[in-house]
Amino acid sequence: MFFLGALIAIGAAIAFAVVGLLTLWGGGETLTRELPRGFTRSATSPGRRVLGVALVAVPLVITALFGLLAAGRVLMVAFGLG
């Protein structure tokens, strides 16, 4: 039974890690391609650009870190370390 639980936990950890990494990748794509394109089209001020980048980047980083930390914690539980 422990073995089955460990396999399920490892699968969950992989899922959390994938979601975290995809969030980082998608956020990087958004910050480098989509956001600058919108800024040049609408000719926004520097203050609004900084605010826009912060409002996109901060939630992305928090979500990605949560996913990666959760993956690490679930792996620790799966291997009996935590």
Domain limits, the chain: 2-78
Cα–Cα distance between 75 and 79 in angstroms, integer? Answer: 6
Q: Can you give the pLDDT at residue 73?
A: 95
Is residue 37's pLDDT more than 90? no
Q: Which residue has the tokens 């690490």?
A: 72
Q: Mean pLDDT throughout 49-61?
A: 93
44: pLDDT confidence band, cut at 50, 70 and 90? confident
39: pLDDT confidence band, cut at 50, 70 and 90? confident
DSSP tag of 1: -
Mean pLDDT for all residues in the chain: 92
Q: Can you give the pLDDT at residue 40?
A: 81
